[in-house]
Amino acid sequence: MKAREFWLLFAPSLLVMGGLLVIPLVRTVQWSFESVHYGSPGSFVGLENFATALTDPRFGRAVLFTLAVTAATVVILLVLGYLIATAINRITRSRPIVLGIMLVSYVLPNLVGAVAFSWLFDDNFGGVINRMIEFFGGNQVLWFTDQVPNGILVIVNTVWHMLPFAMLIILAGLQGVPTELREAGIIDGARAVQSHLHIIIPTIRGVLGFVTLISIMDVLRMFDNLIALSPQAASIGNESIMLYVYSVAFADGAQRLGLGSAINVLTIILILTLLIPFIRGIFKEAKAAR
């Protein structure tokens, strides 16, 4: 490819990336050191915003909650995604309809899905799950005001929303596993479980890494589903980092954009730290593939 062709094709992407990623990132870092109000230039405050964020117990609680939900959700996504993908990989005729139904939760706007999901646990709107618990003799569960039940609710909703993505990617990975390899395992006497643990999973390791990477990034940024699922998130300690940013920087007409930016910078550092092993793995694989 000639240099001119390369730049012709690459320039639009560069412009979009620069406009939508680089400039906002630079501005976020700049604002994190400033006191900023809408419509007026910021004034330099040094590390004050970072000090405010790091000494606010609410920020610590938001980080802990976000990490806990991320860890639990990613593990569940990988396990359930793998199991369902394996099952769907075996069906042929009804696969499109099964996939179509499964994708419903993924294509729904997150907030809409979360509102509908919350109704399953809300007596004001039927509360089907509550009725089932009652039917089996269980006690009333305070899904929206008790920290642990509410955390479970958030995790289940996040899994419900993201499972189709994980399953689809893993299914694509499974379809790429050579039949010869599986057959060789069977000839060597591998049982089903052994075949999965020692043949299939190692073969799709890269795909599983990709699902983990994307899932971690997505769950760490969770925000809109909490509006419906955790109406008093802050007071029960179930606030995500992004919801915390929104609360301190924008909600109720607040204008603490500097503080919000500082929290975002800290979040970026946190995300990068968590993703280092996966990024290194991807680089290694890319290097090996050359």
Partner 1 sequence: MSITKNRAFALTAAIAVGGLILTGCGAGGRTASKNATAVSCDYTAPDSATTVNVLAYNSSAVDPFTNTMVSSCTKGKVAVKHDPIDFGGQVTKTTATLSGSTGSYDIIETYSFVIPGLARDKKLRPLNDLFEKYADKYGLNDINKSMRAGMSYEGNLYALPMQAQMFVMAYRADVFDNLGIKVPTTFDEMIAAAKAIKAAGVMDYPIALPWLATSDIGTSFQAAMNSLDADFVSKDGTVTLDTPEAKQALQSMLSLKPYMDPQVTTFDQPKVQQQMFNGTAAMSIMFSGRMNDLTLTSNSKLSDSFKFAAPPKVNAAAKYSYDRLSIDGWSIPFNTKLDPDMLFVMMASAVSEDASKASIPAAYPARNGMVTADNSPYGKAATDSIASAMPPIASPVLASVTTEIRPILVQILAGNLTINDGAAQMQAVAQKIVG
Binding site for partner 1 (CB under 8 A): 37-40, 93-94, 96-97, 99-101, 103-104, 107-109, 112, 123-125, 140, 142-145, 231-232, 234-235, 250-255
**8 A C-beta contact, residue 100 and residue 179:** no
Residue linked to tokens 């979040």: 267
CB of 104 to partner 1, least distance (A): 6
- The residue (of 62 and 199) whose beta carbon lies closer to partner 1 is 62
CB of 38 to partner 1, least distance (A): 3
For residue 239, what is the DSSP state? -
Q: Considering beta carbons, is residue 123 or 188 the nearer one to partner 1?
A: 123
Residue in this structure with the two tokens 């301190």, named with its chain if needed: 248
Return the number of the residue (108 or 201) whose C-beta is nearest partner 1. 108
120 and 128 Cβ atoms separated by less than 8 Å: yes
Report, in Å, the least distance between residue 205 CB and partner 1.
30
Nearest approach, Cβ of 139 to partner 1 (angstroms)?
12
- State which residue, 175 or 232, has the beta carbon closest to partner 1: 232
Q: Which is nearer to partner 1, 16 or 251 (CB)?
A: 251
- Which residues, 6+ apart, have CB-to-CB distance to 274 below 8 Å? 70, 216, 220
Question: In the complex with partner 1, which residue's Cβ is closer, 143 or 210?
Answer: 143
Instruction: Write out 30-61 in H/E/C secondary structure.
Output: HHCCEECCCCCCCEECCCHHHHHHHCCHHHHH
Amino acid at 60: G
Tokens 């500097």 label which residue? Answer: 258
- Say if residues 199 and 185 touch (Cβ distance below 8 Å): yes
Closest approach of partner 1 to the CB of residue 135, in Å: 17
Distance of CA 236 to the CA centre of its chain: 22
Least distance (Å) between residue 39 CB and partner 1: 3
Q: How far apart are CA 187 and CA 46, in angstroms?
A: 67
